[in-house]
Amino acid sequence: MSRVLDWTAARVDDPSIDLALLLGGFGRDALVRLIERFAAAGGTTWPGLVEHAAERWAAFAVLSAEWALRIGHTEAMAHARAHLATVESAAGD
């Protein structure tokens, strides 16, 4: 089996950023299962990690909107609004 390791965007940062993207793409249940499997394999987690990742995911709407405003990109702003609506909807569950 061959594998590719891409270091293009590598950096030491908060792992909840990656987990937030997983949450956005696959949902809360997938995130919880991943964190449980990671912890069972000896990975370091912390209480509230799922909520931390969810807050990061919610913040992406604001970051997207700020970028859209800065560059005057209407489609990016529409995306940020749609993301915010999704986050608000999920928060009401």
Hey, is 14 helix, strand or coil? coil
Q: What angle do CA 89, 90, 93 make, to 5 degrees?
A: 95
Domains identified in the chain, total number: 1
Mean pLDDT of 32-59: 94
The string of pLDDT tens digits covering residues 29-40 is 999 999 999 999
Which residue range(s) make up the domain with 59? 16-91
Q: Is residue 38 part of a domain?
A: yes
Q: Is residue 8 part of a domain?
A: no
Is the pLDDT at 23 greater than 80, yes or no?
yes
pLDDT at 93: 60
Q: Tell me the two tokens of residue 72.
A: 């005057």
Q: Is residue 1 part of a domain?
A: no
Burial label, 8 (beta-carbon count in 10 A; 0-12, 13-18, 19+): exposed
Region label for 20, one of left (φ > 0), alpha (ψ between -120 and 50) or beta (otherwise):
alpha
Confidence of residue 92 (pLDDT cuts 50, 70, 90): low
> What is the chain's mean pLDDT, rounded?
89
